[in-house]
A = this chain, B = another copy of it.
Amino acid sequence: MVSKDEMIAFFRSEFPKADYVIEGFTDNSVIVRHQVREQDLRPGGTVSGPTMMALADTALYVALLREIGLVSLAVTTSLNFNFLRKPVADRDLLAECKLLKRGKSLAVGEVTICSESDEAPVAHATGTYSIPPTPEDGR
Residues of A in contact with B (beta carbons under 8 Å apart): 14, 17, 39, 43-44, 48-50, 53-54, 57, 73, 75-85, 100-101, 105-106, 108, 110, 121, 124, 126, 128, 130, 133, 139
Contact = CB atoms under 8 A, between A and B. Distances in A.
A130 B106 contact: yes
Nearest to A86: B75
A101 B126 contact: no
Contacts of A108: 78, 82, 84, 124
Contacts of A50: 50, 53-54, 57
Given A126-B126, A139-B139, 8 more contacts: A49-B57, A50-B54, A53-B53, A77-B83, A82-B100, A82-B126, A84-B101, A124-B126
Contacts of A57: 49-50, 53
Nearest to A123: B100
Given A77-B128, A126-B124, A84 B110 contact: no
